A and B are shown apart, each in its own frame.
Chain A
Amino acid sequence: MQDLIWLLPTFPLLGFLCLVLTGGSLPRKIVAVIGAGSVGLSFLSAVLIAAQFLASGEDYFVKEVWVWMAVGEFTPGFNFYLDGLSLVMMLIITGVGFLIHLYSTGFMADDPAYSRFFAYMNLFVAAMLMLVLGDNLLLLYLGWEGVGLCSYLLIGFWYENPDNGYAARKAFVVTRVGDTAMAIGLFLLFTQLGTLNIQDMLGAAQQQWAIGSPLAIAAALLLLGGAVGKSAQLPLQTWLPDAMAGPTPISALIHAATMVTAGVYLVARTHVLFELAPTVQMLVAFVGLATLLMAGFTAMTQRDIKRILAYSTISQIGYMFLALGAGAWSAAVFHLMTHAFFKALLFLAAGTVILSLHHEHDIFKMGGIRKQLPIAFWSFIIGSAALAALPFTSGFYSKDEILLAALAVEGPGLLLWIGGVIGAFFTGIYSFRLVFVVFFGDSQGHQEVKEEAGWTMAAPLMLLMVLALLGGWIQVPLDAVFSSGAGHEEAPVSLLVHAVMIAAPFLGIGVSYLFFMSKVFDVDKLMANPLASSLHRFWFSGWGMDALYQRIFVNPFLYLARINRNDLIDSFYALLVSITRTAHLMLARTQTGYLGWYALSMAAGLVLIISLGVML
């Protein structure tokens, strides 16, 4: 069964091909079967492969399928590499991906581009599987770019609206910045270490580079650039909130199973490099910390239900980066998994809410719909609890591990820990603000709303609820992968630390309750304060990052484009064109159409040629 690992990306790819080549001419039922079924088959084989792999007790498994290209020594293969890390990733991608596909068959039922939607989704899953299962960096990069392409296609899925196209381009261009850095990083690694095979490359790096050597730092920095772009961390996080332009299941897929987790995967996969560059690893931690705090502040002020969830994703990925920076590789992957469960749950539930309320996105126009939408309500309760890391939910265990690992970091450990705890506090506020405002509070005239959830939509929600609650009990088999990074032994931590970590989200929920449920504090009154309102505006705009980039990058670029409208290099070609055109006009004038004139010219030419012959 392990030998059939190549089936994993092949199923969705075949699904994509079927759907694309038929060009939307298939009936919806068959599209749904192909679209969801291909990922389902993929999940099924993933489970079987995982079972066999775990039973075999091997540390890793390589399946060589074929040599992609052979140029001298350079022979990257189409090889699949399975170890604990890619095992976890592939199960998340296919499992959560399948649930999202299943949900989409119901959610997108009325969309005219049903077939196109599933084609893109399948390609997305195939690319992501390629990314995590590839045994060399080239294959990883193939999946990496495939994911970028699919995110572009899916964010701009409703392309009739130019705003969506803009959001798609923004996502594509911003992640491209990171991708470029990563490509340069791959070049660097290949030229220095002479191989693209990830395991060989990591081994060679350990042998050739001392800890803290400049090359290791450069390579780690460049890879980090790629990871930051894909995972929407500071300073390349601006694309993710706008990526909400796509249909909600896509947001779920991007946030939970694919795309943003790719950056975390990349860093975890190449963790040896980061261990060789401790400064970069520390940078990873601080990038994560800054991102999680910034996104937390921003999430508190948003009104759009999907944007709140988007910022919460940025914040949670920030936690993963914090864990990566702290060297807690398995904690990061563990949080990635639990996050996949509860974030998929939240997004799919949000999709149900949005669909039931006829594409209403503003949470303040929802209000009091817990009776009408029971499934979505319970999904949100459980999802938000897991997001806020309330005890015994899945998020609690993973976040707990991360914060403990952060505390154990030598040097700025306490700082990282405090930041993380503050972040947890904010998580409590914004996640339950969403719940309180949407499901409790005053009704906004949606009494007649009926929950639109057939079994295809309800079943994934139920399953994800279970996973979000109990996912923390899953043991991720990562010890073999990160054996080298076992530097953080369990330090004894005082009870106070645990108490603070448990209390922080509850405090946040309490604050949220006082503001949005019991109305002890009045938001409007707070907004009357000029400082608070300007802070609100600042946070609402995502810390003004978009405006900043507009000013730093976009405007100068536009200015350059404007002053260089008559492009300097083009002018040379324009000159050629105008010379040709002038010559043409002059010659065209000799084309008088008079036969006598032509004969005369010929005779004159004859005379000229003969005189040349006679004279010379």
Chain B
Amino acid sequence: MMILFYIAGTVAVVSTVGVIVQSNIVHALIYLILSLLAVAVVFFSLGAPFVAVLEAIIYAGAIMVLFLFVIMMLNMGQHTIDQEKTWMAAKDWALPAGLAAILLAQLLYVLRDFQVDIVPNEVGVLEVSALLFGPYVLAVELASILLLAGLVSAYHLAKK
């Protein structure tokens, strides 16, 4: 399990780097799917199989397909790849990368004396469902309303 965690974590980091540096949008999307799947494996290795499955189905499956459709609708050809390359000059990277590095350094600094080991006991569907339809039932209802709102507004926005 531990090995799985580190391998999947490495894959996730590498493929995410691929997402942000790729100039071909379809390649970037595939890197993103890879990253999401790797995170799903991380979830599994942490003993959360239910969210791992949901990550794979909804994130890597449904949402990414949505992206794919949009990219197809926008019909980005070779010229957009060239354009992406011209947009990714080194000076555009410096400041954001620096900021993100500082942020990461701060996180690491905060985590420096966090020395708790996780024993990945499996927390399965049963427990999650008991919580979802127990104390969190109101949040579930709210989430459904959010989804409904997203549905309506997406329909409205995408209309001609």
**Do A and B touch (CB < 8 Å)?**
yes
A residues near B (Cβ < 8 Å) are 600, 603-604, 606-607, 610-611, 614
Cβ contacts under 8 Å, B95 to chain A: 600
* B110, A607: Cβ atoms closer than 8 Å: no
B109 CB within 8 Å of chain A:
yes
Q: Does residue B144 face the partner (Cβ distance < 8 Å to A)?
A: no
Contacts of A606 in B (CB 8 A): 103
Extra 14 A-B pairs, beta carbons < 8 Å, given A606-B103, A611-B106: A600-B95, A600-B96, A600-B99, A603-B96, A603-B99, A603-B103, A604-B99, A607-B99, A607-B102, A607-B103, A610-B106, A614-B106, A614-B109, A614-B110
Please measure, in the bound complex, the distance between the C-alpha atom of A183 and the C-alpha atom of B96, giving whole angstroms.
Answer: 73
Contact residues of B with A, CB < 8 Å?
95-96, 99-100, 102-103, 106, 109-110
When chains A and B are docked, how far (Å) is the Cα of A600 from the Cα of B95? 9
CA distance A607 to B109 in the complex (A): 13
Query: Closest chain A residue to B107 by CB distance?
Result: A610
Instruction: State how many angstroms separate the Cβ of A447 from the closest Cβ of chain B.
Output: 89
Q: Please name 17 pairs of A and B residues whose Cβ atoms are closer than 8 Å in the assembled complex, sorted by A.
A: A600-B95, A600-B96, A600-B99, A603-B96, A603-B99, A603-B100, A603-B103, A607-B99, A607-B102, A607-B106, A610-B103, A610-B106, A611-B102, A611-B106, A614-B106, A614-B109, A614-B110
Secondary structure class of chain B's binding surface, majority of residues: helix
CA distance A611 to B95 in the complex (A): 17
Kindly provide the distance from the CB of A606 to the nearest chain B CB, expressed in whole angstroms.
7
Nearest opposing residue in chain A for B109, CB measure = A614
Name A608's closest neighbour in chain B (CB-CB).
Answer: B102
The 9 closest A-B pairs by CB, nearest first: A610-B106, A603-B99, A607-B102, A607-B103, A614-B106, A607-B99, A614-B109, A604-B99, A614-B110
A603's nearest neighbour on chain B, judged by CB, is: B99
User: Measured between alpha carbons, how far is A610 from B100 in the docked complex, in Å?
Assistant: 12
Complex Cα distance A610/B103, Å?
Answer: 8
Of chain B, the residue at the smallest CB distance from A606 is B103
Q: Which of A600, A606, A607 has the most CB of B within 10 A?
A: A607
With a CB–CB cut-off of 8 A, which chain A residues contact B102?
Answer: 607, 611
Q: How far is the CA of A45 from the CA of B103 in the complex (A)?
A: 92
Name which residue of chain A comes closest to B95, CB basis. A600
CB-CB nearest in chain A for B99 = A603
Q: Collect the chain A residues with CB atoms within 8 Å of residue B103's CB.
A: 603, 606-607, 610
- What's the Cα separation between A611 and B104 when bound, in Å? 11
Residues of B within 8 A of A611 (CB): 102, 106
Give complex CA distance A431, B99 in Å: 98
A603 to B95: give the CA distance in the assembly, Å: 11
What's the least CB distance linking B91 to chain A, in Å? 13
User: For the complex, what is the distance from the CA of A600 to the CA of B102, rounded to whole Å?
Assistant: 13
Alpha-carbon gap, A144 to B104, bound state (A): 81
Residues of B within 8 A of A607 (CB): 99, 102-103, 106
- How many angstroms from the CA of A607 to the CA of B96 in the assembled complex? 12
CA distance A607 to B95 in the complex (A): 13
> Please, how many angstroms separate the alpha-carbon atoms of A5 and B58 in the complex?
91
The CA of A297 and the CA of B36, in the complex, are separated in Å by 108
Question: Cβ of B110: which chain A residues have Cβ within 8 Å of it?
Answer: 614
A611 to B110, CA, bound (A): 10
B6 to chain A, nearest CB (A): 27
Least CB distance from B16 to A in Å reads 17
State how many angstroms separate the Cβ of B101 from the closest Cβ of chain A.
Answer: 10
